[in-house]
């Protein structure tokens, strides 16, 4: 195949509204802060990528970083060499991409590059990465602290009505036992419950929480301690009464290799818009395969489904509708508890022109 050269890269900040504010142990979030990247080639292909987070205005830093630091590194280069382009962006930026927003920016551009590759090849991204399974189970995610008890049960029941057999809810308050007992009582013994602490506890508190959760058959405790301390997470994993999950705040294959080598997590949860994009997600998936742990994802099921579905270790995708209805050109619908991998060239995620205009941050 002839080279396809990158002719331009566009980064745009969007503020995506939520129906109402949501909250976890980390804070209250009124909106989604999103950075959308479009990569254009001289053959007319356009690839889309994005990175996003709950609340804040990180896009105010990510957009100029992409425009001034990353875009010039790949403009004029062959988009069919995603690994090469990834290193073109990462190599001279290592000091600014140890973690954090620099990696978020890299991830968004990399996702757009891979979307271009799929479109140029006329193949789904999932197929390019190995095409292991055509549909992937999902677990419903929510259980925000801002929900009343009835709203908590109603949200869980709504996920269950879609055939979803697992539900993740937030812990980290003095009502953790009450909420856990309520969900188990109302939803029955067969529902898989997953608890997300959002880095709330120290090691002692995490082990106490895990012991309580085990009484109700909860299947994992997620990010029980500060994400920056693999020592603490490994200490929890060694003695926890239930499995541990982590990874949404880890970066690159090296961060996940440490989780695996230290046996600090039974479930890896890379965020495709933070971990280094598709290029790194597939390497993290290989680590999960090699170490015999399960691979899932953090948010953004629209993108994650293609990469989780390509991995033998792919266990499930986190599923929560955060992007406003109608903002994407296609829907991602759950059928019998599963999401089908998009059967279109690339990853199939594209914002509508109306959304790009309506939600754009000036």
DSSP track, 300-321: -HHHHHHHHTT-TTB--EEE--
Residue 291 covered by a domain = yes
Instruction: Classify residue 309: in a domain, yes or no.
Output: yes
> Percentages helix, strand, coil for the chain, rounded to the nearest 5?
40, 25, 35
In a shared domain, residues 72 and 169? no
348 lies in a domain? Answer: no
Is position 347 within any domain? Answer: no
Residue 172 lies in a domain: yes
Provide the whole-model pTM: 0.96
- What is the pLDDT, as a whole number, of residue 26? 82
User: Dmax of the chain from CA atoms?
Assistant: 61
Question: Based on the domain organization, do 106 and 142 belong to the same domain?
Answer: no
Q: Examine the domain organization and report whether 279 and 133 are in the same domain.
A: yes
Q: Are residues 278 and 299 in the same domain?
A: yes
Q: Is 119 exposed, middle or buried (0-12, 13-18, 19+ CB in 10 A)?
A: buried
Q: Within this chain, do residues 270 and 220 fall inside the same structural domain, yes or no?
A: yes
Which CATH number do you get for residue 89?
3.30.390.10
Q: Are residues 173 and 256 in the same domain?
A: yes
- 242 and 184 share one domain: yes
Angstrom CA distances, 160 to 153, 157, 214, 322, stand at 10, 5, 22, 18
Helix (H, G, I), strand (E, B) or coil at 331: coil
Which residues, 6+ apart, have CB-to-CB distance to 244 below 8 Å? 220, 221, 222, 224, 233, 236, 237, 264, 265, 266, 267
Cα 290 to Cα 337: distance, rounded to the nearest angstrom = 27
The token duo for 272 is 């495709």
Shared domain check, 252 and 105? no
From residue 320, alpha-carbon distances to 28, 213, 223, 250 in Å are: 17, 23, 18, 21
14 contacts 36 by C-beta, under 8 angstroms: yes
Q: Is residue 346 part of a domain?
A: no
What is the pLDDT at residue 1?
62
* Residue 132 domain boundaries: 127-340
DSSP bridge pairs for 137? 338
Residues 251 and 163 placed together within one structural domain of the fold: yes
pLDDT of residue 20: 87
- CB-CB contact of 176 with 145 (8 Å): no
- CATH of residue 208's domain is 3.20.20.120
Structure tokens at 255: 């961060």
Q: What pLDDT sits at residue 197?
A: 97
CB–CB of 331/301 below 8 Å?
no
Q: Are residues 278 and 146 in the same domain?
A: yes
Q: Structurally, how many domains does the chain consist of?
A: 2
Per-residue pLDDT tens listing for the chain (362 residues): 677 999 999 999 999 999 888 888 788 899 999 999 999 999 999 999 999 999 999 999 999 999 999 999 999 999 999 999 999 999 999 999 999 999 999 999 999 999 999 999 999 999 999 999 999 999 999 999 999 999 999 999 999 999 999 999 999 999 999 999 999 999 999 999 999 999 999 999 999 999 999 999 999 999 999 999 999 999 999 999 999 999 999 999 999 999 999 999 999 999 999 999 999 999 999 999 999 999 999 999 999 999 999 999 999 999 999 999 999 999 999 999 999 999 999 999 999 999 999 999 97
Q: Are residues 131 and 116 in the same domain?
A: no
- Check if the beta carbon of residue 319 is closer than 8 Å to that of residue 138: yes
| Residue 336: exposure state from Cβ atoms within 10 A (0-12, 13-18, ≥19) | exposed
In-domain check, residue 345: no
Residues 86 and 208 in one domain: no
Whether 214 is in a domain gets the answer yes
């Amino acid at each position: 195949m002839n080279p396809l050269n990158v002719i331009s890269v566009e980064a745009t900040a969007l503020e995506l509204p939520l129906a109402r504010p949501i909250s976890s142990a980390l804070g209250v979030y009124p909106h989604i802060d999103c950075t959308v990247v479009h990569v254009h080639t001289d053959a007319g292909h356009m690839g889309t990528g994005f990175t996003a987070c709950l609340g804040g205005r990180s896009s105010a830093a990510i957009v100029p970083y992409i425009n001034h630091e990353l875009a010039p590194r790949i403009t004029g280069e062959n988009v069919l060499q995603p690994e090469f382009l990834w290193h073109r962006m990462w190599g001279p930026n290592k000091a600014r991409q140890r973690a954090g927003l620099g990696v978020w920016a890299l991830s968004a551009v990399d996702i757009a590059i891979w979307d271009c590759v799929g479109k140029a090849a006329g193949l789904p991204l999932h197929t390019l990465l190995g095409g292991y399974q055509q549909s992937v189970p999902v677990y419903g995610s929510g259980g925000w602290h801002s929900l009343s008890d009835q709203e908590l049960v109603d949200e869980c029941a709504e996920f269950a009505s879609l055939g979803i057999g697992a539900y993740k809810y937030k812990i980290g308050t003095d009502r953790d036992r009450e909420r856990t007992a309520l969900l188990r009582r109302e939803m029955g013994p067969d529902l898989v419950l997953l608890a997300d602490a959002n880095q709330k506890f120290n090691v002692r508190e995490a082990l106490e929480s895990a012991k309580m959760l085990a009484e109700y058959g909860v299947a994992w405790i997620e990010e029980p301690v500060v994400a920056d301390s693999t020592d603490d997470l490994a200490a929890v994993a060694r003695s926890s009464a239930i499995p541990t999950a982590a990874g949404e705040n880890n970066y690159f294959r090296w961060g996940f290799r440490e989780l695996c080598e230290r046996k600090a997590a039974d479930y890896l949860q890379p965020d495709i818009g933070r971990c280094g994009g598709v290029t790194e997600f597939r390497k993290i998936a290989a680590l999960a395969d090699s170490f015999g742990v399960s691979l899932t994802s953090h948010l953004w099921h629209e993108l994650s489904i293609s990469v989780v579905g390509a991995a033998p270790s792919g266990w499930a995708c986190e599923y929560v509708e955060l992007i406003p209805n109608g903002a994407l050109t296609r829907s991602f619908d759950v059928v019998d508890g599963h999401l089908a991998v998009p059967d279109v060239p690339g990853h199939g995620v594209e914002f509508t022109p109306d959304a790009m205009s309506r939600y754009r941050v000036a």
